[in-house]
Amino acid sequence: MLQQITEELKQTNTTLVAVSKTKPVAQILEMYHLGQRVFGENRVQELVEKEGQLPKDIEWHLIGHLQTNKVKYIAPFVAMIHSIDSIKLLREVNKQAKKNERVIPVLLQFKIAEEDTKYGLEMSEVIELLESDEFSTFQNVNICGVMGMATFTSDKEQVREEFRILHHIFTQLKNQHFDTSDDFKEISMGMSGDYQLAIEEGSTMVRIGSLLFGVRY
């Protein structure tokens, strides 16, 4: 399955984040030996434990909601945080990155789904931040793009519309605030059930779990 998806993604230059949450290190290692290097986790404790046990050239992406008091545990090694859902969190990531003398790549998460359960920033607060004096002090975070999760529904047209909204948000931010940044280029959208649709709508990073690792219990 990994090879098949990797082939598919190569044609569109899309990055595969293999979502390994709840899966044992042995299974991750298997996929590592097949060549996969980018893995995604949604819980800090689980991520820290796995990072300690697995090869150091794995790029660990944090994809789930992150509490500010836990940023310090992943700041030394995390390769990208997809789930920046508040300015307060971004501030803390910057602070912890600075302590570790590094720059952490991050994505701004927007709520594109109808469901209330999903986290995300409002465009207005992002614009306010980008235009504020404080923003110039954020030297230890590198904003590389946006992330979103579509509604959990079988209605493909609704999902497509939500992906379009995220693409539109990306374009707006790119044109108005990041036109000089070479790094602001990622649209993280698409999971096992909707990644092909996401790619059609411009995704550059898909986060695929169950399709690769089998269903989670």
Ligand X SMILES: *Cc1c(COP(=O)(O)O)cnc(C)c1O
State which of residues 191, 198, 199, 205 lies at the interface with ligand X (CB under 6 A). 191
Residue facing ligand X at closest CB distance: 209
Smallest distance from ligand X to CB 194, Å: 8
At residue 13, what are phi and psi to the nearest 5 degrees?
60, 35
Structure tokens at 49: 């434990």
Phi-psi region of 33 (alpha: psi -120 to 50; beta: other; left: phi over 0): alpha
Q: Tell me if 199 contacts ligand X by CB under 6 A.
A: no
Residues forming a β-bridge with 143: 106
State which of residues 20, 42, 140, 203 lies at the interface with ligand X (CB under 6 A). 42
Q: Tell me if 71 contacts ligand X by CB under 6 A.
A: no
Taking the least distance from each CB to ligand X, the nearer of 140 and 147 is: 147
Q: Which of 123, 124, 166 is nearest to 147 (CA)?
A: 166
Q: Tell me if 210 contacts ligand X by CB under 6 A.
A: yes
C-alpha 26/C-alpha 34 separation (Å) is 13
Taking the least distance from each CB to ligand X, the nearer of 140 and 209 is: 209
At residue 201, what are phi and psi to the nearest 5 degrees?
-100, 15
Taking the least distance from each CB to ligand X, the nearer of 140 and 212 is: 212
The residues of the shown chain that bind ligand X, judged by CB under 6 A, are: 19, 21, 42, 63-64, 149, 191-193, 207-211
